[in-house]
Amino acid sequence: MYMISLLIHGQYSDFIIIVLAIVLAIALHEFGHAAADELQGDPTARLAGRLTLNPLRHLDPFGTILIVLVGFGWGKPVPMTPSKLRSPRFGAAVVGAAGPFVNVILAFISGAILVRMDPATFGSLSYRFVSEFLYLNVLLAILNLLPIPPLDGSRILSAVLPPSKQHIVFFLDQYGFVILLLAAFLILPNILGPISTSASKLVLRLVS
């Protein structure tokens, strides 16, 4: 309810900054999937109009509403045709890993910008946006690497598990969304925040 709290307390600029940062981070994340799908030889994402930087093409209506209400949501999944990927086994994992990889790159770019900003800009809208964008990209990268469908980590898990262990993937495919929703409201808020904060500080140290 953090986002609603910002509106209740009249912190409109903070609300707008966070929403814009989330929307941009998710759109670029989904574009990363589409670009990887194209590089893997599959035109499905491109033909669906997803090989674009236009955020409106990547936003899921329900996921966007949740972003505004609770600060947690998701983008519209990028379609792909596994049989058309160059690598039958690892192609889907490459496409899945591309989204978090884009978020990691964006986090380092944001960190590099942040440490080089004039100290006089601390607390300004631009400084707050870049700072929030850094944190949210770290958060998205970590969150999406969890091996729970429909998160990207599930595709990576499917690629690295031997055939004898694929029943784990089948189980997660059946119950993953329920597990993810329960985790999102009961567990993840208490875990992801501190981890993402520590990771963001690490990024800043690495680019300093």
pLDDT at 7: 80
pLDDT at 69: 66
87-102 residue pLDDT tens: 988 999 999 999 999 9
Residue that wins the pLDDT comparison between 67 and 116? 116
pLDDT at 62: 79
pLDDT confidence tier of residue 136, bands split at 50, 70 and 90: very high
Give me the mean pLDDT over the 181-190 stretch. Answer: 81
Supply 67's token pair.
């972003």
Contacts of 84 (CB under 8 A, 6+ apart): 41, 42, 43, 44
Contacts of 159 (CB under 8 A, 6+ apart): 89, 90, 92, 93
Side chain identity at residue 192, one-letter code? L
Contacts of 28 (CB under 8 A, 6+ apart): 53, 102, 103, 106
Give me the mean pLDDT over the 58-76 stretch. Answer: 74
What proportion of the chain, given as a percentage, has pLDDT over 70?
95
Q: Are 3 and 18 in contact (CB under 8 A)?
A: yes
Locate tokens 């998205």: which residue?
Answer: 140
What is the model's pTM? Answer: 0.90
pLDDT value at 37 more than 80 = yes
Locate tokens 């978020």: which residue?
Answer: 103
Q: Are 81 and 42 in contact (CB under 8 A)?
A: yes
pLDDT at 170: 84
Whether residue 30 lies in the annotated active site: yes
pLDDT value at 72 more than 80 = no
pLDDT confidence tier of residue 75, bands split at 50, 70 and 90: confident
pLDDT value at 26 more than 80 = yes
pLDDT value at 129 more than 90 = yes
pLDDT value at 182 more than 90 = no
pLDDT at 71: 58
pLDDT at 127: 95
pLDDT confidence tier of residue 202, bands split at 50, 70 and 90: very high
pLDDT value at 67 more than 70 = no
pLDDT value at 120 more than 90 = no
Q: Write down the catalytic residue from 30, 37, 42, 152.
A: 30
Supply 46's token pair.
């491109």
Q: Are 80 and 41 in contact (CB under 8 A)?
A: no
Q: Are 86 and 40 in contact (CB under 8 A)?
A: yes
